[in-house]
Structures are given as structure tokens and as C-alpha cells.
Chain A
Amino acid sequence: MADKKVIKSRYFFEEDFEEQLAEVPAEKVAAWDKKAKLKIVGKGVDRYDAYDKVSGTARYTFDIQLPHMAYAKTLRCPYAHACIKSIDVSQAEKMPGVLAVLTADNAPKIKWYRGTSYLFDRHLRYAGDEVACVAAKSERIAAQALKKIKVEYEVLPFVADAGKAMQPDAPKLYENGNIAGGKPSVYERGNADEGFNRADVVVEETFDTQVVVHNPTEPHCSVVNWDGDKLTVWDSTQSVFGVRNALADSLDIPANHVRVIKKYMGGGFGSKLAAGKYTIMAALLARTIGRPVKISMDREEMNLAVGNRPDSVQKLKFGAKKDGTLLAMSHYSYGAAGAYPSGAGCSWPLRSIYKCPNVRTEEYTVFINAGPGRPFRAPGHVQGTFALEAMIDTMAEKTGMDPLDFRLKNYSEIDPVSGQPYTTKRLREAYEAGAKAIGWENRNKKPGSDSGVIKRGLGMASQIWWGGGGPPTYANLKMNRDGSVEVLCGTQDIGTGTYTILAQVAAEVLELPMDKVSVILGDTAVTPYAHGSGGSVTAPSTTPAVRHAAELMKEKLIGYAAAQMNLPPERIAYRSGELVDRDNPAQKMSVSALMRKVREQVLVTTGMREANPEGYAVNTFGAQFAEVEVHTDTGKIVVKRIVAAHDIGRTLNRKLLENQFEGGIMQGIGFALMEERVIDRNTGKVLTTNLENYKMTLLPDMPEIEVIIVSDADPLLNNTGVKGIGEPAHIPTAAAIANAVYNATGVRFKSLPLTPDKVLQGLYGGVKQG
């Protein structure tokens, strides 16, 4: 089991397939059987870090206070598009308490945004782009100093709408124009036009979705400290290794001079996957002034400058036979990346959920003068699923079929994109379980037929995502002289429960109580490499590596016991924390007794995520069902119930799983009904820069939620049989709600969010009269 090999690993992460060399075990640890009787894994054990969090002792990045620490604040461009003609920082520098000011005039030229711009660039492409950064003795002084910086701007024409930015006469953000890559991304299988020609029913519709902002409760922040030429950075990040590499590259210092630590963080949802400019700026300032620096975004900056989910305009055309067989689908879309490179495609769900021989998609990612996009909980899938699932419902209605029957008619047993079989697919079971739980038979057979002012409706939507993870991911396991264990892994717990599930796996294998296991994550100096926490890859990548490390530790203990007991290792078995002579079970020793013989030593093993199975597609699946009330007098939509039925492999911890699902659904309700970044078309400035204008879901908005897991385990995928849940939880919620609103009203709303004004407009062409 100790042997290893290097492979070319390929797995899906957030926006694309990643290819990377990776070390994997030569021989896989046999996966836990679907029926395996596990004692700790699968149980709803308490969250490992819950005590710290409920008691207020959990220290987040922003809570770190270092002696002599300075504070930094950023000056941002007030115009949607401008060039800096000159900057005068002399008045700011003279202010008592101001320590240093960084601008394009004195900062090193550090490439940013995939080389399209600089850390401080004179060409500013959105209202919020970084102009200067001030370090001062207090945050308040730093903020006041920003007002003393005199910048002369040349204001340029701007475009803040993706459709307009695609026009030939639109103001250009880049010399090569506003379309990323200069052309669309096109996918084709079969011949869509031929499919439409043969279809009995053809439907064409256009949908649009809004820009939404991640808005984690903890603002993005870093604390940086130089110790000579060595840099330590505490960062609220989803990727400690990503931040370390960005710092080393930007500052042109060796990677081993940079240590990045993340212990607790207040959410990210994709917005903290990449290093932020602020971290680099703080490191530069700290080096200049010889003091530690803390930098934190305020809520306005959170809504301007640290990412968003691109909007979309999607034109879909579907063709089917009279019996409901899908013959062709085409999808044309464009979406705003914001001012810098980011993906805005959203056709993946359409390409990959249903069996359909003829598909064509054409996606444009467009630059506009607004804050750059970043991956946001299932990039592309949330927008794409909304339009796709509305179209599927429409096709079902046009062919006289039940929406679920239509989906089953076009169910794909293999991945339609690669032609490969799935490791597991339990979508059919999810449909059945969800339909039963919501009472699908009670929906309005004729949409809109519910009488009364408050109309009730049921709707559903399917979900597909990757979420299988893959190598490289490593974990170290240390055993101390008292038999206690430390798990070390370079992943990060972004709130999802990674600490807990890794402790559960180690405790399970070594048959230890949970309190014997501690977990150390997210520290580039001490934890072995694991990828960023995104794409629902964390659980399926890290738990198998920890299990491998724990199995190796068992083997190691057997070797030590054999030497101590003067027996060949084959004679020794590991049973319930004891090393037992197989031939003479009375002869045995406890792990702690054995460990006392190794005295001061710490035993260490390194586990690895095994290779993904070749020739298989790995996906998560699910179906969510929504019950809504549409108040036809006010236009308000109330979500009454959501049933989420999903195939996610093995459940590691039911308590944490429900929490994660409910959170994904909560954000889905926000996307469906209220969240929207609004830009003033006259100035190109964001109007929704606080939480009063940017509406998010609160407790009174929440429906009853039921989570049903239809999968047992996916042993073909990895040794724990686990797939991810973070993104699957969120993907179909908005689509299911929109379909339920259609079922309630008989009116198809094609634009998110479904705000009361849009509902009234759709129902009456305006506010209800009389």
C-alpha cells in the first residue's frame, strides 16, 4: 500500500477541467462497501469547531492583532472608465499618522488579472478599480488620507451592459474589443438544424438573469507580517496555496519565504478562491514601513471589487417529437465578465443533463465597465439551469406530458458529452423521492388554474454538477506518544465542516474517539498540498487522502507492534485500538502502550487521493421541488416548501449535510427572488453597495426544507465513496421556484429575480387596477 506513482490527473474544478501531475497510491485502498457498518462516518456528530464559534473564541483573520500593526485602506476609481493623468499624494503623506502611500507612481509593475492589467494601472476600467493604497496608524486615519489624494482623471466613455458592449461602436475596454478571446466558445454534437427540421414541436425563448454578489459575512481581509525577508500572511481565503503562489510571484520572492495561514473564515462562495490585490498591496506597504499591516474590505468594496456572478442573456431553441423525445437543442448566450477576465458561459447543464443527439451552444463572454466576475457557487450552472429547466417544462406542456415524465423520457444513462458511463447516477431515484415528498400529484394540472388572490403552485428542476474531485491532494497523519492523532491537510474549512469530516474519517479508521483527533488545515508551512476549496471537490478529494494516511498508520503500528512483540507483522491485527496476535488473541497491546515504547517519536504517514477511475464520467445529480404562493395583489412570491432530493455519494455527516443544503437553497431563494446588483446606466456606478439595497435572504424569508439523499455511496470514485454537495445544493433552487411560479400563475417569467414589479407586470402589464 505504501507504493506510489505519478499520473496525469484530470478533474473538474469550478470553471474548467484541470490537468496536473499528481502522486497517487499505486494500489488503491479498497473503498468502503455501500453497506459497510461505519461507526463515526455517516453519523451526525457535532461540528468539530462549533464550540469555538458559539463561544466567540474562534479567531478569524480580521481578529488578528499584532503589536505595532498599521492599517491600510484603498482609494478606488469613482468613474466607470478613466485614465489617470496625475496623482498628487503630498497632502495625504503630510497627515499625522499616515505611514506610506502606494500608487502607480511608486509601486512595482506587478501584472494582474491574467496579465491584462497591473496591480496599479493608469487605465481604470470600472468604478471601484484600485488607484492608491494608504497605510496609517489607524483605519480611520487611512480612510481620511484617501480624501487628501488628488487624482486628475481623463474620463473615458464607458459601457456597462453586455449586449451594448458587443456592438461594434461600443466603447472598448481592450484594444482587441470587448468579446473575450475575440470569438464565442462553441460546442456542437450532431446537427441541431437537422434536428429542428425533423421536430414536431419547436420552441424558442429568451431568458435573462442578473448579476449577483457573493457577500460573505466576513469581508475579504489580510494581515501581513514581514520577519526579515520572510513573509507571514493570514488571509480569509479559499486557497492558501493559491495566495502563497500569487504573493511569491508578485513580490518576486521564493515560495518558501511566504507562509499563508487560514484558520477560520466567514464564507467565500468562490469570491475568495483567488488572491486579492489587497493582500499584495498590504505586503508591499508592510515591507516599506517595517510594520505589520491589516487590510479589510468594507461592505461597499465587497459589493464593487471582489467578484460577482456574471449576468446572462440566453436564447434557447428546443425541438422534440410528438412523443416528447428531444431531437435538438440550441443555446446562444452572452454574459458580462466585468472589466477583467472571468467566465460567463452557462450552457453546460443543457449539454449534459438530457439525452439529445443534436446540440449546439454558442457563448460570448463580454467585457463591460463593472467589477470583475469570479466563480460563484456553480459558475454558469445556476443561470443555465434556470433557462434550461423552464424550456423543459415548456416542451413538456407543448407535448402534453407531465414535466417529470418528459424528463424521464429524455433521461440519459450515459454522459451525453463524453459518451462515458457514470460512476453512479441516481437522478431517477431523486425524481421519485422528491415527487413523493412534495406531493407532485397535487400540482395544478392546468397552470394558473388555482383560484383566489393567493395562487399556489408546484415546480421542480433537475441538477447536474461535477463534484468528484481528484488528485493531487495529500494529508499527513501524526500519532503522538499518548495515541492522540493530528491530521494535517492543506485544504481549508470555509465553513462547510471540513475539520469535522476529516476528524471523522481518521477516527473511523483508527477506531478512536473523536476527541483523540485534532485537525490542522490551511497553513502552507505545515500542511501538505490540497487544492482550493471550491467546485464541491473538497470532501471527495480530502477524505480519501485522510483515509489512506490513517490506513498507512495502522500498517505502521502493526510493524512497530511486530517488532515489540517479536512476531512477524502478518500475525498482528489492529482491532479497536489494540494490536492483537491473530494466533493468540490473549497476547495484545493497546496503541497507547505501544506508543510509550516509541517514547518521544511522532509517527507520521502521508496519504494521497487516489486516481479517478478511467473511462467514467463523474457527476452529482439531484432534483429540487418547490411549493410557492404568488400573491397576485402585491406581486410577492412566498416560497412555502423546498424538497431537495440528491445523489451525492456517501453521507459523511447528516447534520452538516443538512446545514450545507439548506444554505445552498437559501442562496437560491435570494437569486430567484431578490438579489441583484444594479448599475446606474448614466454613470456606470453600482447603486447596490450596501445590504439595504442589496437584498439577501433572512430568517423570515425561509420556507420549510426537506433534504433527501437517494445515494448510498460511490465506491468506484474514491475509497470513501464521497461526492461533493456545496454546489449541487444551490444549482436547481431558483429554477424550481420559477417553474412553481409558472404552475401557480400560468405566466412564464423569463427574467430573474422575480421581484413583485416583474410579477405584476407579467400578470397585468403593470400594477393591478381597482
Chain B
Amino acid sequence: MITVSLTINKKEYTCEIDPQTTLLELLREHLGLTGTKRGCEIGECGACTVIMDGLTVNSCLVPAFQADGSDITTIEGIASNGKLHPVQEAFLEYDAVHCGFCTPGMVLSAVNLLDNNPQPSQEDIRRALAGNLCRCTGYQQIFDAVQAASKKMKSKR
């Protein structure tokens, strides 16, 4: 067993884990943060996307010990004080949701994009979300929601 300390959604955690544990397993099984989804376990679908030290990662590919000392944001940390993030609000308003399984990963990719690039071009959005597989929607509503969120956040700045 090894000890890992990290910050998740602004809270500090110290966990005793098997060295083989992935960040995804740490979040879901040790901490019960099941909003992060497991779709393929080999970094191909994006359902387990979280933000790690300012970058999106597939949490299924990150050994938990590598996240020691890092700052993680999961879907549970996107809303604040019960108020949805503008990206979440836009997903709701534009119905960028179908079965919802890819949604947490999509939201995190979109939030991370807008954090780093508040006024993305259409191509920027396409590229930022290209690693998140959705099998239900036609991606159009997701794309529209991200664009709308970007506009909304700009007007609030």
C-alpha cells in the first residue's frame, strides 16, 4: 500500500491505496465520486476526463500515485454553492445531454477549454472536444452549448 495526498475539488485528501490504483479508481471507488465515468479504461472515450493541474486527462490512464500533490477537478467540483457553472447551464438549456454518460467528461473538456481560451474559435471547440466520444447526440447541441457558454462568460467578465 502507498499513501497519496491530493486536492480534489478544493478539498484535501490522503488515501492509502494499492500502487496499481488508477486516478479513476481512486475517485470512484475510494472517494465515491462516481460522476466521473468509466467507458473504456484505456483512454479512448473521454468519459473519465478530469482536470489535473489545469489540463484535462483521462483519469483511467493516470496512476493514482502520479496524482500525488496535484490539484484535481471532477464534475462534482464544477458547480459552486449549488449553482451550476455557465457551461453546465448551457448544456441544460441547449439539451447537450442525451443518455448523459459522456456528459461529465464533455463538461470538463469544455470548462477547461474556456478557462484557457475564453473566446475559442469553432475549430478550437471541435479540437477541444474531439477526445470525448458521444454515441447518442449528434454533437451539435454540445457544440452550441459551449459556444453559448463562452459568450455568456464573456459578457459577465
List A residues at the B interface (Cβ < 8 Å). Answer: 44, 46-47, 49-60, 62-63, 65, 140, 215-219, 264-267, 269, 296, 298-299, 494-497, 655-656, 658-663, 665-667, 690-692, 696-700, 702, 705
The CA-CA distance from A269 to B28 in the complex, in Å, is: 26
Known: A267-B136, A667-B135. A217 touches B102 (CB 8 A): yes
Is B97 part of the binding interface, using a Cβ–Cβ cutoff of 8 Å?
Answer: yes
B32 touches A65 (CB 8 A): yes
Q: Which of B20, B92, B101 contacts A266, CB < 8 Å?
A: B101
Q: B138 contacts which chain A residues (CB < 8 A)? A: 659, 661-663, 665-666, 702, 705
A659 touches B141 (CB 8 A): yes
Q: Which residue of B lies closest to A65 (CB)?
A: B32
Q: B32 contacts which chain A residues (CB < 8 A)? A: 65
New contact pairs (17) apart from A56-B34, A495-B100, CB-CB < 8 Å = A53-B100, A54-B100, A55-B88, A56-B35, A56-B104, A62-B34, A65-B32, A215-B135, A216-B99, A265-B99, A299-B40, A299-B41, A495-B98, A656-B95, A666-B138, A691-B133, A699-B134
The CA-CA distance from A46 to B137 in the complex, in Å, is: 15
How close is B128's CB to chain A, nearest CB, in angstroms?
9
How close is B141's CB to chain A, nearest CB, in angstroms?
6
A495 touches B130 (CB 8 A): no
B47 touches A217 (CB 8 A): yes
Q: Which of B29, B35, B129 contacts A57, CB < 8 Å?
A: B35
Q: Which of A218, A269, A663, A665 contacts B39, CB < 8 Å?
A: A218
Q: Which residue of A lies closest to B146 (CB)?
A: A699
Q: B61 contacts which chain A residues (CB < 8 A)? A: none
Stretch at the interface among B62-70, B74-82, B112-120: B74-82
A666 touches B79 (CB 8 A): no
Q: A298 contacts which chain B residues (CB < 8 A)? A: 40-41
How close is B82's CB to chain A, nearest CB, in angstroms?
10
How close is B142's CB to chain A, nearest CB, in angstroms?
7
The CA-CA distance from A540 to B38 in the complex, in Å, is: 33
Q: Which residue of A lies closest to B104 (CB)?
A: A56
Contact mask for chain B residues 118-151; partner A; CB cutoff 8 A; 1 contact, 0 none = 0000000111011011111111111100000000
Q: A662 contacts which chain B residues (CB < 8 A)? A: 137-141
| 16 A-B interface contacts by CB (under 8 A) | A47-B92, A47-B95, A54-B88, A56-B74, A59-B34, A62-B37, A65-B34, A264-B99, A266-B39, A495-B98, A655-B95, A658-B140, A659-B141, A662-B137, A666-B139, A699-B132
Q: Which of A264, A663, A690 contacts B136, CB < 8 Å?
A: A663
How close is B108's CB to chain A, nearest CB, in angstroms?
10
How close is A770's CB to chain B, nearest CB, in angstroms?
32
Q: A63 contacts which chain B residues (CB < 8 A)? A: 28, 34
How close is B18's CB to chain A, nearest CB, in angstroms?
8
Counting residue pairs across A and B whose Cβ atoms lie within 8 Å, the total is 172
Q: A660 contacts which chain B residues (CB < 8 A)? A: 98
B45 touches A217 (CB 8 A): yes
Known: A47-B95, A299-B40, A666-B138. A55 touches B75 (CB 8 A): yes
Q: A60 contacts which chain B residues (CB < 8 A)? A: 37, 101
Q: Which of B37, B97, B141, B142 contacts A658, CB < 8 Å?
A: B141
The CA-CA distance from A219 to B88 in the complex, in Å, is: 24
A56, A63, A691 — most chain B CB neighbours (10 Å): A56
Q: Which of A265, A299, A700 contacts B127, CB < 8 Å?
A: A700
Q: B103 contacts which chain A residues (CB < 8 A)? A: 53-54
Q: B153 contacts which chain A residues (CB < 8 A)? A: none
How close is B123's CB to chain A, nearest CB, in angstroms?
9
Is B2 part of the binding interface, using a Cβ–Cβ cutoff of 8 Å?
Answer: no
Q: Which of B39, B78, B88 contacts A299, CB < 8 Å?
A: B39
How close is A239's CB to chain B, nearest CB, in angstroms?
16
B99 touches A266 (CB 8 A): yes
Q: A497 contacts which chain B residues (CB < 8 A)? A: 98
B101 touches A691 (CB 8 A): no
B135 touches A50 (CB 8 A): no
Q: Which of A57, A218, A655, A658 contacts B99, CB < 8 Å?
A: A218
B92 touches A50 (CB 8 A): yes
Q: B53 contacts which chain A residues (CB < 8 A)? A: none
Q: Which residue of A lies closest to B39 (CB)?
A: A217
Q: Which of B44, B79, B142 contacts A692, CB < 8 Å?
A: B44
List B residues at the A interface (Cβ < 8 Å). Answer: 18, 20, 28-29, 32, 34-42, 44-45, 47, 74-76, 78-79, 84, 88, 91-93, 95, 97-104, 107, 125-127, 129-130, 132-143
A266 touches B37 (CB 8 A): yes
Q: Which of B28, B88, B97, B136 contacts A47, CB < 8 Å?
A: B97
The CA-CA distance from A49 to B101 in the complex, in Å, is: 12
How close is A504's CB to chain B, nearest CB, in angstroms?
14
Q: Which of B38, B40, B47, B91 contacts A690, CB < 8 Å?
A: B40
The CA-CA distance from A660 to B136 in the complex, in Å, is: 7
The CA-CA distance from A54 to B108 in the complex, in Å, is: 10
Q: B100 contacts which chain A residues (CB < 8 A)? A: 49-50, 52-54, 58, 264, 266, 495
Q: A44 contacts which chain B residues (CB < 8 A)? A: 95
Q: Which residue of B lies closest to A52 (CB)?
A: B100
A219 touches B137 (CB 8 A): no
The CA-CA distance from A218 to B47 in the complex, in Å, is: 9
A53 touches B140 (CB 8 A): no
How close is A694's CB to chain B, nearest CB, in angstroms?
9
How close is B6's CB to chain A, nearest CB, in angstroms?
18
A217 touches B135 (CB 8 A): yes
Known: A50-B91, A665-B138, A691-B45. A218 touches B101 (CB 8 A): yes
B34, B79, B141 — most chain A CB neighbours (10 Å): B34
The CA-CA distance from A700 to B143 in the complex, in Å, is: 10
Q: Which residue of A lies closest to B145 (CB)?
A: A54
B44 touches A299 (CB 8 A): yes
Known: A49-B100, A266-B100. A699 touches B39 (CB 8 A): no
Q: Which residue of B lies closest to A64 (CB)?
A: B34
How close is A644's CB to chain B, nearest CB, in angstroms?
10
The CA-CA distance from A665 to B139 in the complex, in Å, is: 11
B135 touches A56 (CB 8 A): no
Q: Which residue of B lies closest to A493 (CB)?
A: B99
A659 touches B98 (CB 8 A): yes
B142 touches A699 (CB 8 A): yes
How close is A638's CB to chain B, nearest CB, in angstroms?
13
How close is A437's CB to chain B, nearest CB, in angstroms?
16
Q: Which residue of B lies closest to A664 (CB)?
A: B138
How close is A73's CB to chain B, nearest CB, in angstroms?
12
Q: Which residue of A lies closest to B34 (CB)?
A: A63
B42, B74, B99 — most chain A CB neighbours (10 Å): B99
Q: A656 contacts which chain B residues (CB < 8 A)? A: 95
B28, B39, B127 — most chain A CB neighbours (10 Å): B39
B39 touches A219 (CB 8 A): yes
The CA-CA distance from A765 to B66 in the complex, in Å, is: 51
Q: Which residue of A lies closest to B129 (CB)?
A: A699
> 4 smallest A-B Cβ distances: which pairs?
A56-B35, A662-B138, A495-B99, A266-B101
A217 touches B41 (CB 8 A): no
How close is B91's CB to chain A, nearest CB, in angstroms?
5
Q: A665 contacts which chain B residues (CB < 8 A)? A: 138
How close is B38's CB to chain A, nearest CB, in angstroms?
7
How close is B66's CB to chain A, nearest CB, in angstroms?
18
How close is B124's CB to chain A, nearest CB, in angstroms?
12
Q: B28 contacts which chain A residues (CB < 8 A)? A: 63
B44 touches A690 (CB 8 A): yes
How close is B58's CB to chain A, nearest CB, in angstroms?
12
The CA-CA distance from A756 to B46 in the complex, in Å, is: 26
A53 touches B97 (CB 8 A): yes
Q: Which of B88, B91, B135, B143 contacts A216, CB < 8 Å?
A: B135
Q: B39 contacts which chain A residues (CB < 8 A)? A: 217-219, 266, 299
The CA-CA distance from A705 to B133 in the complex, in Å, is: 19
A298, A660, A663 — most chain B CB neighbours (10 Å): A663
Known: A56-B76, A495-B99. A659 touches B137 (CB 8 A): yes
The CA-CA distance from A267 to B36 in the complex, in Å, is: 17
